[in-house]
Amino acid sequence: MTASIDLDRYFARIGWGDPATPTFDTLAGLIEAHTATIPFENLDVLLNRPIRLDPRGLQAKLITNRRGGYCFEHATLLAGVLEAIGFNVTRHTARVVLFMPRSASPRGHMLLIVRLAEGEFVVDPGFAAFACRRPLPLVDGGRVASETMVHTMVREGRYWVLNVEREGASMEGWVTTLDADNAIDFEVGNHYMSTHPEAVMRNHLLLNALTRDGRVSVMNQEVTIRRGSGVQKSVLADRRALRTLIEENFGFDLPEIEAIKVPSIPHWT
């Protein structure tokens, strides 16, 4: 994968103009730039399109076509970029527990561990509106605070748990044992999340993009726009309104959206 990543095109996509060396400052800057410019979206899953994790497919979608993606796409692309720069990267799966208990959640999330002289750090660009935009120290109590969220790593026996505090609420985001994963494990997880009829990505519309002064998030028909300290909520009237919102806030247009089917929105099926 490393030799197949076009760093110049990726850097142009995220607006990166600084030197790229395997240091903490570079890592922090790349995560912030990546999450600021490449949105989270599962439109292709709902359009019944295959989700490709190969370098050519990822770069065509997320870089050339200026699309977004979900965790497997974000993490796989960023892992390849970091390795091409010279970082020590390990890929891992996790169980998302925002919507279901650990016992029912599949290994349907992908994250990275990056090893530096300063220590080990969690890098998780594909966790949608809950993504930490800085390297998160992999130590019990490791903490990163921003204006809108606080991310903390918690050790529970053999488990590592990501805790997220947002808008006065504290919740578990995902849990992992950081077991060694094989390349095929991510393909299996990606296949499940993008094709299984009961997978979250197959049933819900999930979108998140950062803007100059905040963020735009979509959960099915519910739209949340944050500008500074203000929050505006609305409901999408129809799929044409969804297409307009994406064109205005996500940086691309996709005519097929006007016929997209979302199982959790009965009149959009």
Cβ proximity of 35 and 131 under 8 Å = yes
Task: Clarify whether 132 is annotated catalytic.
Answer: no
Annotated catalytic residue, options 34, 124, 132, 204: 124
124 is catalytic: yes
Question: Do 177 and 158 meet the contact criterion of CB atoms below 8 Å apart?
Answer: yes
Q: Is 34 a catalytic residue?
A: no
Q: Which of 205, 228, 208 is nearest to 217 (CA)?
A: 208
Catalytic residue, chosen from 74, 109, 151, 204, is: 109
Tell me, rounded to whole angstroms, the distance of Cα 30 from its chain centroid: 14
| Catalytic choice (34, 44, 71, 204) | 71
Tell me the one-letter amino acid at 145: A
Q: Which are the catalytic amino acids?
A: 71, 109, 124
